Amino acid sequence: MILAWLLVLMALSNGFFSNGDGMHNSTIPDFVNIGALFSFNTSVGRSIKIAIKAAIEDINSDPTILGKTKLNLSLQEDSKYRGFLSISEVLQVMARRTVAIIGPHSSVTAHVITHIANELQVPLLSFSALDPTLSSLQFPFFIRTCHSDLYQMTAIADIVNYHDWKDVIAVYLDDDNGRNGIGALGDKLAERRCRISYKAPLSPDASMEEISNVLVQVALAESRVIVVHANTQFGPKLFSVAKNLGMMGTGYVWIATAFLSALLDINSPLSSDSLDDIQGVLTPRMYTPDSQLQRRFASRWKNLTSGNTANAHLGLSFLPIYAYDTVYVLAHALDAFFKQGNQITFSTDSKLSSIHGDNLNLEALKIFNEGNLLRSNIYEVNMTGVSGPFKYTSDRNLVNPAYEIINVIGTGTRRIGYWSNYSGLSVVPPETLYSKPANLSRENQKLFAPIWPGNTGERPRGWVFPNNGRLLKIGVPKGVSYKEFVSQIEGTDTFEGFCIDVFLAAVSLLSYAVPYKFVPYGEGKNNPSMTELVRLITTGEFDGAVGDIAITTERTRMVDFTQPYIESGLVVVAPVRKEESNALAFLAPFTPKMWCVTAIFFILVGAVVWILEHRVNDEFRGPPKKQVVTVLWFSFSTMFFSHRENTVSALGRFVLIIWLFVVLIINSSYTASLTSILTVQQLYSPIKGIESLVIGKEPIGYTQGSFARNYLVHEIGINESRLVPLTTTEEAAKALRKGPENGGVAAYIDERAYTDIFLSSRCDLTVVGQEFTRNGWGFAFPRDSPLAVDLSTAILQMIDNGDLQRIHDKWLLSSACLSQGAKLEVERLQLKSFWGLYVICGLACLLALLVYLIQIWRQYHKHYVSEELDSSDGQSLGSKSSRLKTFLSFADEKEETVKSRSKRRKMERISYRSSEGSSSISSNKGYAPRRSECASEV
C-alpha cells in the first residue's frame, strides 16, 4: 500500500524534487542537510519553529559542536495535517538528501511516513508524536526524543487508583494516537484493578453538535471520572460543549492528557471564558527539572517571541524545550558520527529503480547509506539539555520520565504533586527521590488535595447510577425452606424476610438513591444454587444478589461481597437420646486415666509423708502392718481433710500443704461435674462431630443447593456417594429420625443460622461437635462495584446503632426447645486438665525426699560413722551390703533414740578417756626413780 501511495504522489509531484548537491566527497562536509516537518500555522507549530531555528543558530555558532560543519535546515510545512496527504511533504524533504528529519508533529502522520523513513534509512526524530505503539522494533528509524504517552497514561491510572475510583470513561479522538493512547490507559488501569467502563470516540472533524451527542451519552453513564485524550485544537471545543451541558459541575472528575497543559503554557494567559470551561480539571505536564540552562532558555524565550506580533503571546511549554534539545541531540550524534571517520553517502534504491513510468522521477529518492550508523549514535547521546538529563535506556526510551500534576483553579493553575516512573505520585520533586530506594507502594503515594469541578474540595464519589431509567436487577433466591430469611409474598413481586430487611435498612442509610428491582431466581420447588446465582452477576444477567448467600472462596473469585451481616458456619446435626443415670454414675466425672493417676498420687503422697515423719512422729511408727494401714488411711483421709495424724516435720508439712491444695481442686471439680451429671438431663449421640463422619461410612444429608456439598467432597474428602440432598426441613428431620438403618441419614449438615431455627422445635435433634467452617452472609455485586463498599459501611453503621440486632430479633428470635438445658453426653474431666497440679505435687515430693535424704546422710555420718571409726580405731566398717543394712537400720530408728545414744556414747568416751589418763600418770611416777638409778650406774 505504501508503494502505491508513493507511485501516486510521485506522479502528482513530478518535477518539484531537487538534487541538493551541497556536499563534497571529503570525510567531513561543510554542511549537513536536515529537515523539519510540522504544521507551522498553529500556535504550537510556531513555538516549535522558533525553538528549532534557535537551536540551529546556536549550534552553527558553536565551534565545539561539529567544528566547521554547519546544519542546513529545510522547514517543510505539514499543511495537510493528515497522514496520507502529508506524504508529499516528507517526500520533498527526503528528496533533498537530508540525513535526518525532525518531526512529524502528529502520531497519525508518523505512522505513515515511518515506512518511508525505514525504506530510505533516514532517522525521524519526533518529540510530539507520542503514540506508544510507535515502537523502535516495528519502526527502527522512528526515534522518540520525548517521553511516550505510555508514561502519562500510567500517571493518570495512578491518579485514578489513588482516589479509589474504579471506572473511567474515555473521550478521545478516533485516530491512531487516540485509540492507541486509550488502549495503553486501559492496560494500566487493569493493572490496578480499574477499568474503562465506557469509550466515547470522536471524529477529528466532529462538529459541536456531534460532540454534544457523544457527551450526552457520557452523562447518562455510571462513571463520573472522564479522561480526555485530544489535541490542542480539539480539546477546547470539547470542554466548551461539556460546560454548556452542565458536565463541569459538582460530582464530575475531568482528567485531560498533556495537550491541556501544553495549551495552558503556550497560550498563557487563556481567556477568562476558556478558563471557565476547564475549572477543576487535572492534567499532567511534562516535568523538566529546574536548572540554569532552563532558566537561561526561559529568559531567552521572551526575546525570541517578542519580535513578531504573531508570536508575542507564545508561552514556553515542553514542546519547544524538547524541540530545542532534539536539534542538539542530532548535532551531538552527527559530531560523533564524523569523529568515527564516517561520511555521508547516498545510493539508489533498487526497488524504486525497478518501477518504470513516463512521469515518475523516483530516482530523486536516495537511500542514506550510513543511516544505521547515525541512528546508533543518536541512541548513544548522553547530554544535559534544557529538559534535563538526556539519555536513552536499553529499551530506547528516555530516562526518568516524570510529570507535574496540574489543577486548573481560578485564573491559573496549581501544582498538586508529581509523578515519576521511579516513585509514583509524590509531593516532592522526582529528582530528590532518585537517590532513595524506589517505593511504589500504595501507602507511599501522595498528592495535595485539588479543587474539583464545582469549586469543591470534597473528593467526588466518581460514579452515579446511570440516568437512563434502567433499574438495577437484584437477584433474590426463591427457596422452599427457611422463609424467615427470604420469601416472596404470594401473588406479588415483593419479598420479605431477615435478609430483605437488612438490605432495605442499609440502602436507606446511603446518601444517594439506588434504583433497583428484585428479580426472583429459582422455580420455587427446589432450593436454587447460590453459586450459580452469583455467577449470573458476572454475565450481566443480574446487577447484584440479596439473600442468604454465604461468602465462600469460590464465590469471592467471581464477585465482591459486602461486609457480612450474619455469621454462619457449617455444623453437624444428629439425633440424640436421653442417657439415664446408672449405679456407677459417680465414676463418670473422671476418665479412667484420671482415676488411676489420682489414686497413685494418693498412695504416693501418703508414702512420702510416712518417710518424712517416720523418724520424728510416733504416730507413723509401730509394727509394719500398722504402718501400712496408717499410710493408706492417711492418704485417703486427706480427700475429706479428715486425717487425724499430725505432721511435725517441716518437710512433711510442706508436702501436705501442696497435696491438700491439689485435693481441694480435684474435690471441687469432681463435685461440680457430678452435680451436673445428676441434675442436668444428659443426651447421647454416636456422632461426635465432623471427624466421626469422615471416618464413617453412613449416609450424610445436606441442604440441596448449598455450598456444603462441594465443601464436603473437595475440602473434607467425603465420598460423594454418601451425600444425600434434602430439600425441606421436614424432609431433613424425617431422614435423621429414620437413621441410616431405615433409609435415612446418620447426620445432617447445614449452616448455623439455619440450624438455630431448625432445632428450635425439634428437641430430639441437636448440633454435635464444633463449627468446621467460618462463613458469613453478604450481598453480592460485580467486581469493584462501589455499591458493595458503600453498603458495607452502612452495615457496619447498623451494627453500631443496634438496627441489625433489632432486625435479627424480629425474624429469628424463636422459642427455644424445651430441652435447651440438656447437655450432649458427659463432659468428663481428663488428666490433661490437671497435669500441671500433679507435676507441682510430684516435684514437691521429690524435693522433700531429696532434702530429707541429705539430712539423714549427714546425721548418719555424724552420729554413726564417726563413732564407729573412733571405736574401731580406723579399721574397716564391713562390706557394702552390711553398710547399707546399717544405714537402713539407722534411718528406721527414731531420731530421739539416735541422738540419745550418740550423746550417751559421747559421755562414755569422755569418762573412758578420763580414767585412762589417771592410770597413765600413776605409772609414770614409779618409772622415773628407776630411770634415775640406771643413769647413775651408767
The residue extents of the domains of the chain are 29-144+309-389, 147-290+399-442, 470-566+774-810, 583-663, 681-772
Q: 380 pLDDT band (50/70/90 cuts)?
A: very high
Question: Is residue 253 a contact partner of residue 224, using CB atoms and an 8 Å limit?
Answer: yes
Q: How many helices (H) and strands (E) does the chain have?
A: 30, 34
Beta bridge partners of 206: none
What's the confidence (pLDDT) of residue 878? 53
**Residues 479-503 pLDDT 10s:** 888 889 999 988 888 999 999 999 9
pLDDT at 896 over 70: no
29-144+309-389: which CATH topology? Rossmann fold (3.40.50)
Cβ within 8 Å of residue 381, ≥6 positions away = 329, 332, 333, 336, 390, 391, 392
Q: Is the pLDDT of residue 908 over 50?
A: yes
Instruction: For the full predicted model, state whether its pTM sits above 0.75.
Output: no
pLDDT at 141 over 90: yes
Closest to 322 in 3D by CA, of 71, 126, 38, 81: 126
CATH of 470-566+774-810, one of 3.40.718.10, 3.40.50.970, 3.40.190.10, 3.30.420.40: 3.40.190.10
**pLDDT score of 934:** 38
Per-residue pLDDT averaged across 449-464, rounded? Answer: 92
Q: Are both 147-290+399-442 and 470-566+774-810 of the same fold?
A: no
Tell me: pLDDT of 387 over 60: yes
pLDDT at 246: 93
Q: Compare 461 and 87 and report the one with higher pLDDT.
A: 461
Higher pLDDT pick, 96 / 6: 96
In DSSP notation, 447-473 reads -PPPPBTTTB-SPP--B---SSSPPEE
User: For residue 432, what are the contacts with CB-CB under 8 A and spacing of at least 6?
Assistant: none
Q: Determine the pLDDT at residue 933.
A: 43
**CA separation (Å) from 893 to 48, 575, 880?**
120, 67, 20
Q: How confident is the model at residue 446 (pLDDT cuts 50, 70, 90)?
A: very high
Report CA-CA distances (Å) from 665 to 86, 659, 847.
99, 10, 22
710-736 pLDDT, tens digit each: 889 988 889 989 999 998 889 999 999
Task: Give me the chain's average pLDDT, please.
Answer: 82
Closest CA to 676 of 523, 829, 803, 511: 829
Question: Residue 222: exposed, middle, or buried by beta-carbon count in 10 A (0-12, 13-18, 19+)?
Answer: middle
Percent of the chain with pLDDT over 70: 79
Q: Is the pLDDT of residue 823 over 90?
A: no
Residue 830 DSSP SS3? coil
Q: Give me the residue label for grid cell 564524523.
A: 338
Q: What is the pLDDT of residue 701?
A: 92
Q: Rounded distance, CA 283 to CA 285, Å?
A: 7
Measured distance CA(149)–CA(170) in Å, rounded:
15
d(CA 445, CA 332): 38
Contact 112/130 with Cβ under 8 angstroms?
no
Identify which has the larger pLDDT, 243 or 851. Answer: 243
Q: What is the pLDDT of residue 3?
A: 45
* 705 has pLDDT over 70: yes
Under CATH, which number does the domain 681-772 receive?
Answer: 3.40.190.10
Q: Specify the pLDDT at position 756.
A: 86
> Per-residue pLDDT averaged across 140-157, rounded?
95
pLDDT value of residue 902: 63
| Selection from 452, 327, 439 nearest residue 383 by Cα | 327
Q: What are phi and psi of 582, to 5 degrees?
A: -125, -175
Cα angle value 373/375/380 (rounded, 5°):
95
Which residue, 380, 379, 371, is CA-closest to 144?
379
The answer to whether residue 56 scores a pLDDT higher than 90 is yes
pLDDT at residue 7 in the model: 42
- Kindly state the average pLDDT of the residues 792-816: 88
Nearest to 127 by CA among 398, 312, 472, 369: 398
Q: How far is CA 154 from the centre of its chain?
A: 21
pLDDT at 790 over 60: yes
Q: So what's the pLDDT on residue 17?
A: 35
Task: Write the class of the CATH domain 147-290+399-442.
Answer: alpha beta
> What gap in Å lies between CA 859 and CA 895, rounded to an integer?
9
Report pLDDT digits (tens) over 252-289: 999 999 999 999 998 877 888 889 999 999 999 999 99
* 523: confidence class by pLDDT, cuts 50, 70, 90: confident
